[in-house]
Amino acid sequence: MNLLTSFRTELLKTRRTSLWYLCCTAAILVPFFMFFDYESGEGLNELKTDPWNIYFRQGQRAMNIMFLPMYIVLITTLLPQIEYKNNTWKQVLTSPQSTSHIFFSKLLVIQVLILLFILLHNLFMLVSLTTKSVLYPTLVLWEHTINWMEFLKMNAISYMSILATLGLQFWLGIRSKSFLLPIGVGIGLWILSAVMVAELHWPYAKYFPNVIPMMVVFPKLAPGLSTLTLISVGYAVLFLGLALLEFNTKKVKE
Amino acid sequence: MRDSSIIKTTALEYSYSKEFQALADINLHIQRGQIYGFLGPNGSGKTTTLRLLLGLLKVQQGNIEIFGQELHTNRSDILRKVGSLIESPSLYGHLSARENLEVYRPIYGASIARMDHVLQLVGLGQTGRKMFRQFSLGMKQRLALALALLPQPELLILDEPTNGLDPSGIIELRELIKKLNREEGMTILVSSHILSEVEKMVTHLGIIFKGSMQFQGSIQELFRLQEYSSRLLVHTSDNDAAIRALYHYHPERSGETLSITIKDFKQAAEISRTLFEQDLDIYLLQPKVHDLEQLFIDLTTTPTLTPSHE
């Protein structure tokens, strides 16, 4: 039994679930709100100078600060809930797959959902900006180019910065029968992170897992992007390691 | 010579907490080709035993061997040849019958033809896109059975499979179990808390009560035990004199009658003769053969009265 087989079965379980609708809805929110932004002349004038890069940079900020963390909280809760809600853990665990395969195949589905979210977010941003250029003829897009290196780096940083939150929330989601607990903890930690960054200016905030996605989009707050992403990856390894250990030892999940 | 043992547990024990020992010294022995009824009232330890057999609970003490291999070290190999239905159906409400089986088909390496076959076998071949959550309880139970049969298992473990089935569904299931055993040579372990539900299909029985085995053996051995524990009801013109005359039969007074345990009807004749010789008028001499249900109740209410047949 290989991991790919387990992954395919996990994907099949998500058919007709709210996860895919959530992915599309969450990805369209930032482009949608940004479409109605820049109504003031000042904002539009600034955008005209380098429309692609400014628009995508600001989109990434909004995504990283709020929408991506909330999306992570929701998908890491909803995916394991498929088993809890249908009372199917016992059938899954008596099938001839190792518990590690079950764990990693679920984690892989989460990765697919995150990458799809980022892809759709960029696609909708493109649609949002081109539609805006139709409405504001002074916004001439073809005279400007996108900095592809910055664009790819931005997406990679967004992905890596969220791994710490992902690790923690996946652990909570897979161990908790309750739907509310991981969501409550996730929202609570997000609020705490926002307060830490915006109000308290706590010097050690960058070591707080949920703060990292906010800090990476404001380099002035915490210089050293590579350190932040490394901290995020470190947390992810720690949380997922603990989650796997617990998943392998605690057999009955009901 | 090939060992025909399919399930063998040795001194299996399990505790949920220090205060509550769920299983004590369970020595199940199930041979290839048997239909083994695992009986006991609710809370007696059946599901805990089955969960241990399927690796859903970690063995604390004792040992489990399935197909002659240790469960702990050969879990995946063993589970590939085991179909199971534990308590309520465990399937996805948002998927159709076919999609639910499709989730597990690649895991068991089953073919599409096998999937279609098991769906037809349980009468769910025509449910189309209807979601599992829209199924009746009986249909859900049948789909769970189809899933258990999907890997063409050598061993089928069914925990209370008749839950939610109507009487005709129960009869159909019984026939299906016998057919699978007869035609496909499947060894079947079926648990229930109702003896009458399984007595017509099982070849062997294990009776568990408060976490320990009260009986294990063939259905014929259970019938012998039933004969052994038959009773004779006696009422005479002088019951006190009758008690004295029959003291070596250990009669028990129960209102106007005396109740005496007899091994066979020959003993009833002996008792009748003794009473006649004592010049006592016999108003009642009624052998009361235990039915299996009564025997099951006795085994699971007064466990110390009967020895374990293992």
Tell whether A5 is within 8 A of chain B (Cβ): yes
Tell whether A248 is within 8 A of chain B (Cβ): no
Tell me the pLDDT tens digit for each residue of A72-82.
999 999 999 99
In a domain, A85, yes or no: yes
Q: How many domains does chain A have?
A: 1
- pLDDT > 90: what percent of chain B? 49
- Residue spans of chain B under pLDDT 50: 1, 303-310
Asked whether residue A108 carries a pLDDT value surpassing 90, the answer given is yes
B168: tokens are: 């005709």
- What contacts B18, CB < 8 A, 6 or more positions away? none
Backbone angles phi, psi at B300, to 5 degrees: -110, 15
Fold of B230-289: Alpha-Beta Plaits (3.30.70)
d(CA B81, CA B184): 13
Q: Do A94 and B57 touch (CB under 8 A)?
A: no
Tell me the pLDDT tens digit for each residue of B82-113.
999 987 888 999 999 999 999 999 999 999 99
In a domain, A227, yes or no: yes
User: How confident is the model at residue A227, as a pLDDT?
Assistant: 83
Confidence class for position A208, pLDDT limits 50, 70, 90: confident
Which residues of chain B make contact with A94, given a CB cutoff of 8 A?
Answer: 54-56, 79, 82, 84, 86
Asked whether residue A251 carries a pLDDT value surpassing 60, the answer given is no
Tell me the pLDDT tens digit for each residue of B191-201.
988 887 788 88
d(CA A85, CA A72): 19
Fold of B5-224: Rossmann fold (3.40.50)
Asked whether residue A161 carries a pLDDT value surpassing 50, the answer given is yes
Question: Are B180 and B146 spatial neighbours (Cβ–Cβ below 8 Å)?
Answer: no
Tell whether A16 is within 8 A of chain B (Cβ): yes
Q: Do B84 and A97 touch (CB under 8 A)?
A: no
Q: Do A82 and B80 touch (CB under 8 A)?
A: no
User: How confident is the model at residue B101, as a pLDDT?
Assistant: 96
Tell whether B94 is within 8 A of chain A (Cβ): yes
Asked whether residue A147 carries a pLDDT value surpassing 50, the answer given is yes
Q: Whole domain around residue A211: which residue ranges? A: 3-249
User: How confident is the model at residue B308, as a pLDDT?
Assistant: 43
Asked whether residue A1 carries a pLDDT value surpassing 70, the answer given is no
User: How confident is the model at residue A184, as a pLDDT?
Assistant: 96
Tell whether B129 is within 8 A of chain A (Cβ): no
Which residue in the set A13, A87, A93 is minimally distant from B103, CB to CB? A13
Contacts 24+ apart (CB under 8 A), B124-128: B124/B97, B127/B96, B127/B97, B127/B98, B128/B96
Q: Do B107 and A6 touch (CB under 8 A)?
A: yes
Tell whether A1 is within 8 A of chain B (Cβ): yes
User: How confident is the model at residue A197, as a pLDDT?
Assistant: 79
Beta bridge partners of B124: none
| Cβ burial B54-87 (10 Å sphere, 16+ → b, else e) | bbbbebeebebbbbeeebeeebeebbbbbbbbbb
SS3 B202: coil
- What contacts B13, CB < 8 A, 6 or more positions away? B21, B23, B24, B25, B26, B60, B61, B62
d(CA B295, CA B196): 12
The amino acid occupying position B10 is T
Q: Do B91 and A9 touch (CB under 8 A)?
A: no
Asked whether residue A169 carries a pLDDT value surpassing 50, the answer given is yes
Domain extents for chain B?
5-224, 230-289
Q: Do A88 and B106 touch (CB under 8 A)?
A: no
User: How confident is the model at residue B303, as a pLDDT?
Assistant: 47
Beta bridge partners of B232: B260, B287
Nearest CA in chain B to A252: B56
Tell whether B79 is within 8 A of chain A (Cβ): yes
User: How confident is the model at residue B299, as a pLDDT?
Assistant: 72
Contacts across the A-B interface (CB distance below 8 Å): 78
In a domain, A254, yes or no: no
Task: Find the Cα–Cα–Cα–Cα dihedral B55, B149, B98, A22, rounded to 10°.
Answer: 0
Q: How far is CA B99 from the centre of its chain?
A: 32
Q: Which residue has the tokens 């387990």?
A: A6
Q: Do B86 and A94 touch (CB under 8 A)?
A: yes
Judged by CB atoms within 8 Å, which residues 250-269 of B form the interface with A? none
- What contacts A68, CB < 8 A, 6 or more positions away? A117, A158, A162, A213
